A and B are shown apart, each in its own frame.
Chain A
């Protein structure tokens, strides 16, 4: 293995150590169990943001991830509450449902570019919210509440993963679940970006016509990327429902869609791990500003504006070690 690969492996190991060992230990020692929820949110939001990052990677501005988060959440809720399906099974199902819908929606709209595509995706989030309000299956404005916690995963009487209701701190279990999925998600993205598919996406991003002329099936590639992106959105929404144990049409709004985009952007659109950093900073930043009471949004948005003025290309553009991948 080359030196560079060793370095990367080392950094990844340190990160994993921090996430899975050091942080839980620190939380237990400091008694700050509420941090579990915060960090879990960061993990889940960064998964959704990873989806948005992927659409950026094929050259589209996606402000509609909130729609898929909402869809995924409802799919999971409905399957669990009305059909008694196990929570764990609803996760891939929610993701696949969103992917399927995104293919239908993507076919007409993915050929739009720039602002046009962005506008349509923005409207998509609203449409999903309105559908949730109007459709009988989603219980309208009342939403769905009292959704049970995830059950156990077991074979023949032996429980691999205990039912969350039996745990003293289900939040910790959710933390592990979300962090695990986040790491898997970004590992997969890392691999994608460094494989030839990544190069193909970059060619798509840089010049669609040229990519077409060298035989790249740009329509297929775009749809695949969008489907994966929406899968991630749906997955994230489904897990959120497990934690919140409820879902409403307003659970994911246009603001969330915009936030996912902000997360990507803050971390730097050229860097695979950008969404993690961006989500972390924005989420904690917002949380910290809670102290400011009614001025929370004012200060937050002012800082954001300042940030755009100073670092128009994202946070990771400051890091000399991170190589631009997109």
Chain B
């Protein structure tokens, strides 16, 4: 059982990273980034290309993923979301733009990287064994990196100037503007940061489970689920949601294995019930 829990924990750490990116974008711009899963996949493929194909060190590959997605995120915010938000009458426009971007990414990924499942050579060999526990070193490393990134992100948001500006923006756009926060610049930075987190997580996970072009949508849905559990727009909520989902998935897959593919069905059904009692997730702000 402890094995299951530990698996759930490190899975949760990575999921939390994905959820953080999504929730940041949502908090800053009230935009549900449909393309988040695709950004994750792209990050994975970039790491694959740099590490497995070009043979550069894993860390370099990770940085490449993060930076590329960061730049892409910034460009998307500036040239696509900003004009649409400015000119549309209804909220749905941004959602549809995000959906269209998700489709676009799917197309590009398919064209550039093909349909095959890709994996990378193990970044660390060997396994840590302690009693009944078995933990491959590479998974430990990935888990540690994920937690380091989460911690880094939270420190950044808490203490750095851009971090504080973004938090102000998320809390009260009008007030932040009045205080001189450059809304445009920080929306762009925030989106870029969110995309970067997705890309980094993709890079991290490709080292463990590999990546293929079709999983973008599924990852997006998982990310939404985490945000729903923990509450949208709140950093703590994203982390909580990520860990909870990681745990539930790990436990569910083991315990319910005999019943077939029902783990996610159970999770979703429970989520619906949970949401009817607490519609805004564990820590979410009332949104309406």
Using a CB–CB cutoff of 8 Å, the interface residues on chain A facing chain B are 56, 61, 105, 107-109, 111-116, 118-120, 122-124, 126-127, 130-131, 133-134, 254-255, 258, 261-262, 265, 269, 294-295, 297-298, 300-302, 304-305, 308-309, 312-313
By a CB distance below 8 angstroms, the chain B residues around A107 are 276
Task: Find the B residue at minimum CB distance from A113.
Answer: B288
Interface of B is mostly: helix
Q: Is A130 touching B32 in the complex (CB atoms < 8 A)?
A: no
The winner among B34, B88, B272 for most chain A CB atoms within 10 A is B272
B99 within 8 A of A: yes
Q: Are B268 and A130 in touch, CB under 8 angstroms?
A: yes
Q: A134-B262, A254-B221, A294-B111 are in contact. Are A309 and B83 (CB under 8 A)?
A: yes
Which of A115, A116, A119, A305 contacts B104, CB < 8 Å? A305
A253 to chain B, nearest CB (A): 8
* CB-based contact A111/B279 at 8 Å: yes
B24 to chain A, nearest CB (A): 14
Query: What are the residues of chain B within 8 A of A108 when measuring CB–CB?
Result: 272, 275-276, 279
Asked whether, in the complex, the Cβ of B30 is within 8 Å of the Cβ of A309, the reply is no
Q: In angstroms, how far is the closest chain B Cβ from the Cβ of A212?
A: 13
Contact A300 to B103, CB < 8 A, known contacts A115-B26, A116-B280 = yes
Query: Which of B48-56, B90-98, B157-165, B166-174 contacts its partner?
Result: B90-98
Q: Is the CB of B104 within 8 A of A313?
A: no
Q: Are A312 and B80 in contact (CB under 8 A)?
A: no
Enumerate chain A residues within 8 angstroms of B228, measured Cβ to Cβ: 116, 119-120, 123
Residues of A within 8 A of B264 (CB): 126, 130
Q: Which residues of B contact A131 (CB under 8 A)?
A: 265
- Cα(A279)–Cα(B127), bound, Å: 54
- How far, in Å, is B266 (CB) from chain A's closest CB? 9
**Which residues of A have CB within 8 Å of B269?**
127
With contacts A115-B232, A297-B106 taken as known, whether A105 is within 8 angstroms of B272 at the C-beta atoms is yes
* Interface contact A122-B224, CB-CB below 8 Å: yes
| B87: Cβ under 8 A from any A Cβ | yes
Once A109-B276, A297-B107, A308-B97 are accepted as A-B contacts, the answer to whether A123 and B221 lie under 8 Å apart by CB is: yes
Q: How far is the CB of A306 from chain B (nearest CB, A)?
A: 9
On chain B, the residues within 8 Å of A302 by CB distance are 104
Are B261 and A262 in touch, CB under 8 angstroms? Answer: no
A61 contacts B268, CB within 8 Å? no
Within 8 A of A (CB), among B235-252: none
- 12 additional A-B pairs beyond A112-B279, A116-B280, A261-B95, beta carbons within 8 Å, are A105-B272, A108-B272, A116-B287, A123-B224, A262-B96, A265-B96, A294-B110, A298-B108, A298-B111, A301-B101, A302-B104, A312-B89
Contact residues in B for A258 (Cβ distance below 8 Å) = 34, 99
CA distance A28 to B83 in the complex (A): 47
Quick check: is B175 within 8 A (CB to CB) of the other chain? no
Known: A254-B221, A300-B103, A305-B101. A134 touches B93 (CB 8 A): no
